[in-house]
Structures are given as structure tokens and as C-alpha cells.
Amino acid sequence: MVRPLLLLLVYVVAWTVLKSFWPAMARGWRRWVLLGGSALSLAVWLVPAIAGRNAEVPALLRIVATGWSISAIIIFLVGGPLALLRRWLDRRAQAKTSPDVMTTQGQVPQAPPPVSVPESAPSGTPAPHSTQASALESLTSARMSRRNLLTNAGRAVPLLAVGTSTAGLASGSMGFKVESVEVRLPGLPAALDGFRIGQITDVHVGTFIDTQYLRDTVAAMNEAKVDLQVMTGDLIDDLDQLDATMAALEECRAPHGMLAVLGNHEHWRGLDEVVEAYAKSQSRGGPVRLLVDESHTFEHGGQRVRVVGVDYPMSGRSHRVKAARMKQSAEQAFQGVSPDEVVLCLTHHPDFFDHAAERGARLTLAGHTHGGQVAFFGMPAFFFAFQYMLGRYRRGDHQLYVSGGTGHWLPFRLGVPPEVTVLTLRSA
């Protein structure tokens, strides 16, 4: 219920901002359009909160609610400060131009004696009161200019909000790109020089992502002829599509198959069902294997490789990441690691990188953050939300790659397109 309440607050503030810059918005049909859109959007977000996360909401309504909410948030974040600044300027101007009526002793101040211009003053010399009036007029004009500037900027905010939300929704619906990444690792054995890994993560099969989209991502990794495919969590949101989802993963043609780990959405949507589906796929001889605080080894060109996969560090349905749970996963999953092995680590949450590096993982692959889904000039807009948000990170000879995500549960992206990542290992 927290999210709908926060959105309600955002809608109220956005409404206030719009009325401040566009008074006509509070009258006639415009008012009913704004109220109706806000009520519909709020209802869409309330359905999962009341009926459960698996409650069905038509995709079109979710898209409309998403666009409406993003527009309101932009008006809140951009228009709110402009409205407050304009109000502050108005109060400051009023305070400086209003005369004091009473002195501190409660007496009415006497008007100052009139100032006369000496007869000997040169012709054309302005009177003192004329100079003061001119200065006051200039000051008032400057304040009005600043106020008009803020007003015009505030009136442009709704256009900015609608344009940004439309562009983000369009970008989020345009499909994935194949992102090629070269990872140079010091001391990498010659047998693994050129080893290729295909990564998908945060697919979120459900309302906005169907199983055909997932098939296309697996096909892209097959076409890239990767040696190993990995899926780093948040595979599915709609368990009614679970069988078709596993069938799509089983189209993997990589020589070393596909290794997967769990994300927070598997825990939320139905952990037992997802784990069972992975187990059935493996029992059928499929190429997909789930790693839950365990590891899998294989040989490539005579070199032994160990891939460690860890569970998402949470308890029950809690959103909080458990540091103790993360440490426990590390201690269990890295058991049996040998010095002659090249160790790779799969984790949904990127914060596990520190534990993986300490235990010798040369490369850690993660997802979860979606790269914030918004970035400007390559810099995530919400870089402060996670220690490791997007792209490559180093800790000594150990590296982490955080994917921007292959799908989404919210169809809005700007500057962070969905990606299928193809990583090529090279000896540094």
C-alpha cells in the first residue's frame, strides 16, 4: 500500500503545481480529465496491493497508468521547485514594497518632509524622489522578469512531462539490443581466451514481456555462438506462462548449456513453482540448470571452470536485502573451489560482488538494477540507488558486470535499452 499512497501524494502535488501555472486546469472539462486520469491510474496500482501481486490488470491500462504516473512524477520533481521559487519571489517582493504602518513603539510614523530642489541646481537635474521612483521601477521590472521567466518555464513542464513519458514508453517497447563486452582478466588461461558468455537477466515474462520475446533473446545468444548462456534472475512474473517460459529457455544451443539463478521476483511470485519447473526441465535432459547456493563445473579446452550461483539474499517476501543471508550464501556456494579452477559467479543482486571477489571469482555477472532504466549521456539518473548500478566494476583483478536488464516490469526506459549481453573473455 505504500506505493499507491506515495503516488497519491505525487498526484496531489502535481495538481497543485498545474493550478499554479495553468489556472484553467482547475476548471471545466480539464479538471475532470485530470481527476479521472489520476483516479484510473491510482486504481491500477491499487489492484495488486489489494488483490495480490498475481492479480491481472490489462496491459493497456498498465501502460496508461505508467505514462500518467511518470508524467505526474516529472511535474512533481521539476514543476514543484519552480512553483516554490516563484512563490518565494512573490513574497519577497511584497515584503519589500509594502510600507511599514507602525513603528516598534506602536506609533504612526510621520511622513518625511518634502525635499526641495535648490534653485541653483542645474537645469535637468532629477529630483531625489524621482531618482528613487526610477530605481524602484527598475527593481520591480527585474522582479517581474524573473517571475515571468519562472511562469513560462513552469508552463512548459507539462509538455516536458508528456513528451518524456511518451519517449520512455516508446523506448521501452522497442525490443532488446545485443551488447558486446570484452572482459580482460589478468592471468586468464589460454584455453579460455575468447570464451564467450551470453547473459540475459530481469526478463520479467508477464504483462509486457511474452515468451516469444524470451525465445528471441535465446536465439540471439545462439546466433552469437556463445559457449555458455546464463540467466541471472527475475525470469518471470506470470506463472501461467511458466511452461512456455521453460520451453523458450530449453532452446539454448550453447555447448555448456544455460546456468540460472533466482531473483527477488521468483521469491515473490512463486518460488516453489519456479524451482520445480527448473528441476523438471533438467530431468528431461534440457540444457538449463538452476544454481541455488551451489556451483557447477565443466571443462573447456582442457581448462576446468567452476560457475558459482547464489540465491537472492532475502527472507520470505521482505524487500530488505539480508547481509547475513548474503554471507551464508557465499560460504555455502563457494565450497570445494580449487586453485586450479577459473571461477565465475552468477548473482541477481550486484552487492554480492564483494563476497565473490574475496573468494576468488574472476568475473561476477549480475542484474536486478535494470540500470535504473533512465540514463543521460551514459550516467544512470538514479546512480545513488545502488552501489553497483550499471556496467563494469573492478576490485583488484576481479571484475563485475551489471546488465541493464533484458526486459522490464515497467515499460519505461530512457538511455538504458534492454540488452542481451555477449561477454568475451580475454587474457590481459
Tell me the average pLDDT across 31-57. 80
pLDDT at residue 196 in the model: 98
Tens digits of residue pLDDT in 277-299: 999 999 999 999 999 999 999 99
pLDDT at residue 55 in the model: 67
Tens digits of residue pLDDT in 68-103: 888 888 888 888 898 888 888 778 777 766 654 444
With beta carbons less than 8 A apart as the criterion, state whether 366 and 403 touch: yes
> CB neighbours of 124 closer than 8 A, spacing ≥ 6?
none
pLDDT at residue 243 in the model: 96
Highest mean pLDDT among 51-60, 312-321, 378-387: 378-387
Distance CA 92, CA 375 (A): 37
pLDDT at residue 124 in the model: 53
pLDDT at residue 295 in the model: 97
pLDDT at residue 104 in the model: 45
Tell me the average pLDDT across 5-18. 87
3-state SS of the chain? CHHHHHHHHHHHHHHHHHHHHCHHHHCHHHHHHHHHHHHHHHHHHHHHHHHCCCCCCCHHHHHHHHHHHHHHHHHHHHHHHHHHHHHHHHHHHHHHHCCCCCCCCCCCCCCCCCCCCCCCCCCCCCCHHHHHHHHHHHHHHHHHHHHHHHHHHHHHHHHHHHHHHHHHHHHHCCCCEEEEEEEEECCCCHHHCCCEEEEECCCCECCCCCHHHHHHHHHHHHHCCCCEEEEECCCECCHHHHHHHHHHHCCCCCCCCEEEECCHHHHHHHHHHHHHHHHHHHHCCCCEEECCCEEEEEEECCEEEEEEECCCCCCCCCCCCCHHHHHHHHHHHCCCCCCCCEEEEECCCHHHHHHHHHCCCCEEEECCCHHHCEEECCEECCHHHCCCCCEEEEECCEEEEECCCCCCCCCCCECCCCEEEEEEEEEC
Tens digits of residue pLDDT in 98-116: 654 444 444 545 545 555 5
pLDDT at residue 68 in the model: 87
The mean predicted confidence, pLDDT, of the chain is 86
pLDDT at residue 96 in the model: 66
* Grid coordinates of 388: 553497483
pLDDT at residue 22 in the model: 82
Distance CA 191, CA 212 (A): 35
Residue 403, pLDDT above cutoff 70: yes
Tens digits of residue pLDDT in 112-141: 555 554 555 555 555 555 665 565 566 556
Tell me the average pLDDT across 390-411. 94
CA atoms within 13 A on the CB side of 421: 29
pLDDT at residue 105 in the model: 45
Residue 268, pLDDT above cutoff 80: yes
- The pTM of this model reads 0.77
CA atoms within 13 A on the CB side of 376: 3
Residue 177, pLDDT above cutoff 80: yes
Residue 171, pLDDT above cutoff 50: yes
Residue 7, pLDDT above cutoff 50: yes
Residue 318, pLDDT above cutoff 70: no
With beta carbons less than 8 A apart as the criterion, state whether 203 and 215 touch: no
Long-range own/partner contacts, residues 163-168 (CB < 8 A, 24 or more apart): 164/70, 164/71, 164/74, 164/414, 165/66, 165/67, 165/68, 165/70, 165/71, 165/74, 165/412, 166/67, 167/414, 168/70, 168/374, 168/412, 168/413, 168/414
Tens digits of residue pLDDT in 348-396: 999 999 999 999 999 999 999 999 998 888 888 888 899 999 999 999 9
